[in-house]
Amino acid sequence: MNHRATEIVVGIFVVAGLVCLGYLAIKLGKLDAFGNSGYVLYADFASVAGLRRGDAVEIAGVGVGRVDSMALVDDRARLTLRINPGVAVQEDAIASVRARGLIGDKFIAISPGASDRLIPSGGKIRETESPPDITDLIGKMIGGDVTKGAP
């Protein structure tokens, strides 16, 4: 009987370990397996170079959502942003693509506006700022602005 009780205890620990491993895999992989909470906003950018699905959306440095999807619409990158419930975004807010450090991860930073009107679920952030192209900036610093001497 003692041998059977040991097998049951070991089985319980193995199952608990597999459940914990699955939970960590979902959380670290930025998967949303338990339903999508929050509401959706859209934003169009000229470029979202380096941004990926699942990257953070922040307001004042606080994570308030994730990039849900990216698509090309009318030669612009349209991002679908999933914003946490209870977080309000003003109508005149500005969304910009930022990087953590020089070569860090990209994220969307939303600068709050002063309007009393809020963007409803399914609405669009009108003002956006794309990231600067680092190779163009380095080229201008090293070689000078090539458009300076043009007529």
Q: Where are the domains of the chain?
A: 1-34, 39-132
Residues 6+ apart with CB under 8 A from 107: 51, 55, 56, 57, 58, 97, 98, 99, 100
Residue with more model confidence, 50 or 93: 93
Half-sphere CA count of 24, side-chain side, radius 13 A = 6
Are 109 and 89 in contact by the 8 Å Cβ rule? The answer is: no
Which pLDDT belongs to residue 150?
47
137 pLDDT more than 80: no
Question: Residues 15-31: pLDDT tens digits?
Answer: 999 998 888 877 766 55
Which pLDDT belongs to residue 26?
73
Which pLDDT belongs to residue 22?
85
Judged by DSSP in three states, 99 sits in: strand
Question: Residues 33-78: pLDDT tens digits?
Answer: 555 678 999 999 998 888 888 899 999 989 999 999 999 998 999 9
Which pLDDT belongs to residue 138?
77
In 3D space, the residue among 99, 101, 111, 102 whose CA is nearest the CA of residue 51 turns out to be 99
Range in 3-7, 83-87, 97-101, 102-106 the model is least confident about: 102-106
Positive or negative, the Cα torsion across 85, 89, 90, 91? negative
